[in-house]
Amino acid sequence: MKNRLKVLRAERDWTQAQLASALEVSRQTINAIEKGKFYPSLPLAFKAARLFNLAIEDIFQDEVTEVTMVKS
Amino acid sequence: MKNRLKVLRAERDWTQAQLASALEVSRQTINAIEKGKFYPSLPLAFKAARLFNLAIEDIFQDEVTEVTMVKS
DNA sequence: CAATAAAGTCAAATAAACTTTACATTAAAT
DNA sequence: ATTTAATGTAAAGTTTATTTGACTTTATTG
- Looking at residue B33, which CATH number applies to its domain? 1.10.260.40
pLDDT at A41: 98
pLDDT at B58: 97
Q: Which of A18, A56, A65 sits opposite B72 (nearest CB)?
A: A18
pTM of the model: 0.91
Q: What is the pLDDT of residues B20-44, one digit of tens each?
A: 999 999 999 999 999 999 999 999 9
pLDDT surpassing 80 at residue B72: no
Q: Which of B41-45, B49-53, B66-70 has the lowest mean pLDDT?
A: B66-70
pLDDT in tens, chain A (72 residues): 899 999 999 999 999 999 999 999 999 999 999 999 999 999 999 999 999 999 999 999 987 655 555 444
**Given the DSSP bridges, would you call strands B2-3 and A60-61 parallel, antiparallel or unpaired?**
unpaired
Into how many domains does chain B fold?
Answer: 1
pLDDT at A1: 83
Q: Which of residues 40-59 of A touch strand D (CB under 7 A)?
A: 40-41, 43-44
CB-based contacts of A39: which residues, under 8 Å, 6+ apart? Answer: A1, A33, A60, B41, B42, B43
**From residue A56, how far is each of A4, A17, B10, B16, B18 by CA, in Å?**
10, 21, 25, 25, 26
**Cβ count within 10 A of residue A56:** 24
Q: Residue A33 sits in which domain range? A: 2-71
Chains A and B form CB pairs within 8 A to the count of 81
List of E strands, chain A = 2-3, 60-61
Instruction: State which H helix or E strand residue B61 sits in.
Output: strand B60-61
Q: Which of B46, B55, B69 sits opposite A62 (nearest CB)?
A: B46
What average pLDDT does this structure show over B37-66?
Answer: 92
Which pLDDT band, with edges at 50, 70 and 90, does B1 fall under? confident
Q: Does A45 touch chain B (CB under 8 A)?
A: yes
- Asked whether residue B26, judged by its CB, lies under 7 Å from any atom of the DNA or RNA strand D, the reply is no
